[in-house]
């Protein structure tokens, strides 16, 4: 991961989430476990701030 530029590193959690989904739907629990462990190294996704109603 050291070769990924900083602007690309912000997308790693999203990519890991997609890998996890792939292995869930393809029924590969060992891969799910592996990639969930890697995903745990990154902060959880942050929900966008709610908009104020006018």
Q: What is the mean pLDDT of residues 34-54?
A: 82
Q: What is the pLDDT of residue 3?
A: 85
Q: What is the pLDDT of residue 1?
A: 56
Domain map of the chain by residue range?
Answer: 9-39
Q: What is the pLDDT of residue 54?
A: 65
Residue for token digits 């530029």? 5
Q: What is the 3-state secondary structure (H, E, C) of the chain?
A: CCCCCHHHHCCHHHHHHHHHHHHHHCCCHHHHHHHHHHHCCCCCCCCCCCCCCC
Per residue in 13-43, pLDDT tens? 999 999 999 999 999 999 999 999 999 998 8
**pLDDT top residue among 32 and 8:** 32
């Amino acid at each position: 991961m050291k070769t990924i530029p900083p602007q690309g590193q912000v997308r790693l959690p999203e990519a890991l989430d997609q890998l996890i989904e792939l292995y869930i739907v393809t029924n590969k629990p060992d891969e799910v476990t592996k990639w969930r462990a890697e995903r745990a190294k990154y902060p959880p996704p942050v929900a966008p701030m709610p908009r104020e109603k006018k």
